[in-house]
Structure 1
Amino acid sequence: MIPCLPAMHAKAHTWHCSILWGGRWKDGSAAGSGEDMELLFSYLSRWGLTKYMLAYRREEFLTEAAVFWNSRKIKSLPMAMVLRLKKVNSKLLMLEGQLNTIRAQSSTSFEEIELELFKQQIQSLAQGELQLNAYPQDDCDKEQYYLLYMQSAIAAQLSEYSSTTTSLESIITASDHLFNQASHLVARSSANILKLHTLEQKLLLDNELAKQQCLQEGRLLAIRRKLEQLQSDMEMYFLSIKKKLSAIQTQTTSSKQRSSLRHSISQEKSKLEACVARYNSLVSMTDSNEKTSAAQILDGDFPWSALIGKRRSVEMQKKLEAVELYNELKRYRKERKLIIAEMKNLLNYYHQCVLPAISEDIKVIDHKIFGTPEEPETSDSEFNIMTGRYSSCSASKDYLQEMALEETDEFAGLIEVHNCDYESGSTDDEIET
């Protein structure tokens, strides 16, 4: 089981959370809102007057309400499925058209393989692990050598602190977080030293001058990689804030929703300012003059945009827009497959259980009213429409015939869907598993 956020809740979360845990970004989830139980809770909330009732009367009242809810839902299920399928088909056509428009306006083809790669990159960025550029292996080894060297040096400086300080003292002095980090670095120092020796042999660092040169190159590579990650972070914060500002104007229907979105925007602006501060401090360590500010980022002015062609083939905004459409398209394909499977199951259930039970009940009533000479056989079906605590014990033949006709009319749409070829022309095997 994979946890995921409902589509409604993910809108108010930070962009990291909505990408990592949002239902639209999880493979296997369909296009539902994830708030289905809210419909039942909204219906049951009308019966708050039951708190003034006695226990037995309250139980009976709520049971009757739940039974009525179930019967109304079962009766409207065939038409609801047909309407859902029509809505999903129209949504699929719209999403495919939007994705084709993006493909036509961009130099990138945005095929499914590329979109899956972009999706992995954005999810890795949300986890803080993304490296946008494909660096040569030699450069990656130099960067790793520099990082391991610095971690070993820091661990050597912290070894005395971790050996003279106990865990209890760190808790008393409110420095337990620092003590845990220092102990973790010191514990890893021996493994880091072994990796350093391995990289020295791999990079042919046989003298001190070569080691110092490798450390300088690795430091520059680490700075450049961190700058690119911060640039992507700032772009994602800009896109997330922009999307939430638009949602406040177009999608919210209550002050509570607007307040939640404004609170999320305020949090992301604070994180954006911290990200800008880290970025500017790293830029000052290079020859570049790409310093920026939070206000400049919120205006959509990125000082590194002129270098996009050299570093990245597609801007992050275009990537995110295309991947979101692709994710939604996959979710609605899955939704369409599930609806068709539900339609077939419902038709089979009524064909095998409900209609035979109604026929047997009609025979029973015929025997009681007209006195037919032969006793009808008892239905072997597990379902009997005339049994149950809240079912009527005095049904007439006309009523049962009327019910059978009504069921036939309601399932006409399902039967039509089951037998016809869809306009899209895709089969079940072509739909996403």
Structure 2
Amino acid sequence: MPGEQEAAPSTSHQPVRWLKRDSDGNVVYARPRSSRNQTATSHSYSRKTGAHTRMLDSSIEMTNYCPPDTVETFLEELNHSQGDDLDDQETAPAPPRASSDWSTRKSLLSERWEKERPCLVNTMVAQQNATTQICQQCGSSPAAVRCRDCRPQPFFCADCDVSIHRNHVFHNRDATIAGFFQPLPPTTCVVERALSQCVCIVPLEMPEKICSCSPGSLSVNPGKVVAVVTMNGRYDLSMPEMKCEACKATWSAGVDDLVRNDYWPATLHFSTVYATDVFCSYEELKMAAPGLSCQAFLRMLDQRTVRFGRTGKITADSFRKSFLEWEAVRFEVDKICREEHFVCPACTPDMLAVSVDGNRKHYRFKNAARSEEQALFDGIFIAKDDEVERFVDYIHSTINHVSGRGVCGGEWSAARETSQRSSSKIDEEGLELAVCRHGVFLGALNMFRGEIYAYPLYLQNKLANKPISFFAMDVTCKYWPYLNKVAKSCPELQHLLSMKPFLSVFHAKAHDFKCEVKWSGAYQQGAGLTLGEEVEQCNAFLSRIAVTTKHMSKAGRTDMLTLMAMRWNQQKFKNLATSLACRHQKATKRLESQLQDLESMRIQLAVTQVEVEGWVTDIKEWAEATTSQKNADLDAVTSRMEVLVASIKRRSQRLYKDTDGSKGRARIRRKIREEKAILSSVVEKYNSMVPDTERIAFDIILSDETVWPWQLSHRDAVDLKTKRKAFDVVMAIRRLEEEKKIVLSEMAKHWKSLSTRADTLKEMSCQLSSEALKSTYLSNVL
């Protein structure tokens, strides 16, 4: 029968091959392939034959013949078990893998450390076992000293220790004669299994001869004892002195000799000497952690002094003064090399935008350290106070202004035309800073009267010696009318009006919507992606230094702020090429995305490009138009509402900027709550005076996109929100197209600046070489 014929193959005797497996269930091949993926094979095979593996013995491989009925039964059970195993594996979630799951990797790492910790404890304990070793230099005498810096042969006998470390006085050594490792200062050595004092000389390069006598008559003797400070703390060593036994001529190291050997004296008649590596490390730490104080850094050095068996403290005043003098000399060297610390290479010779803002956290207490000394960097970065004061007095005496209230906050701290000098417990009330669009510091001044308009006016006038396209502020809408008024009374400031006003993009969100459209940098032609907020990044850096500068003297504060600003600019210069390339790349990608968004919007709204451009024009005309209510009472209510909303947004935005303490922020929050309560009553009064269709809700008027009902135009069927959405996309596309051109221009300026600097250095190098050859020739002739 057909059924029997079809079933016949199943009744034939088929061999069953038993596979050999290892302890993990993986198939063990008789002839393994080098290219076989064991992991993938084991997973695949174990999933198909999981039940089979559990049923069979994994340690035997054999061939056997079974009866037909046994074979059929076995195959049915095998297929059934395979189906169950596949179902279980499909429903069970896959375990996380360490290669893709971060938490799994961290967990495995912690487990490995925990497993290894007992062994590490034993190793650390064994390391402290001061067993008797053989000197690894001579190989015969027992070791008496271990040097932590002479790896990989750290053990020395007493004689080898003296001969080797006579010239390596800064090595950290431990004595082993007492049965434990005892830290040794460089002036202590081991003599006959006992500690003894010795004299160590500061390693300096000494002249080959000091007189015309033979070199054999020269002897090097220890001179005066000085404290040498390195990154390992303080060392008490002796200065070298040379003496000729024949003619009795002497030589001792001076300040010039110290500087040539990378040391810096604390005073000109030095008793303390600093390794310049300490100054470099302190400066790098200040840049990484600006809030680090000098005292904290020196306490760390004092701890390292004690750790390595030495004694003595490092004086903070001496260290600070020496550090600033060292920085002043470096600054003079940079001037010789014609290096400009406060000029951006990508903004030379013409600059696209300057951003100015105040930092109220950089105050200084009146009862801080007082000193009559002049700042080393006076007028380099922070303008001289007397010059600023004369300018402010001249402006205030030239124009007569009665302070009023405006929509964008005439009563705000950053929008004042006049203010009296503070009579509180602080001296300087903060800093007014100017930066370029690349975040490079350009200049600053000390504020004594809060954030008045005369301060940014001084910086604008100071920076106007080069062409500047935009002048950015967070209250440009109030500052620019003030500038126009000043320019009428002071003709010498008329040239400042050639700059275009620029309201910082993010600060504009706290202003009235009309004000944002009219003044915001996001809508200024030719501005590119300039934010006008670049000064905020610089403020964030300098604010971290304020925790220490507020207790400094006036000169010390000026020097430290100038120094940190210079090092900040150096970092910006170093990364400028990469930054410009990234800007161009991001602008290109964002432009493609914005073009797609514009096309999607046109398709969704079924409008043409001409209609979209018409909406853009409508928004601009709407922003320029003035709105007024026919009802005088209603007009007063709406004006009051605009002022309160703008003030609340402004205070919330500057909550962490205007004060550095919780008490100050609590006062600002209390003021915000009071203004919100007043605003709520004003909103209720407004809603009672207008129809139901023009009523507004208190919850939505504090949002970023507030459009007042009395500002809406009812002549068009398209609502203002739709037009503004299209307006934002079109403006973003225009700014991105401008940004690509601007960045390419800045790249060319940067390249030209680098080329000019390289040519200047080559010219100076050739000039110095020729002068050196000339002086050598004259000395040989004479």
Whether these two folds match at TM > 0.5 is no
TM-score by length of structure 2 reads 0.26
Structure ranking higher in strand proportion: 2
Higher normalized contact order (CA 8 Å, seq sep 6+, divided by chain length): 1
TM-score by length of structure 1 reads 0.44
Structure ranking higher in helix proportion: 1
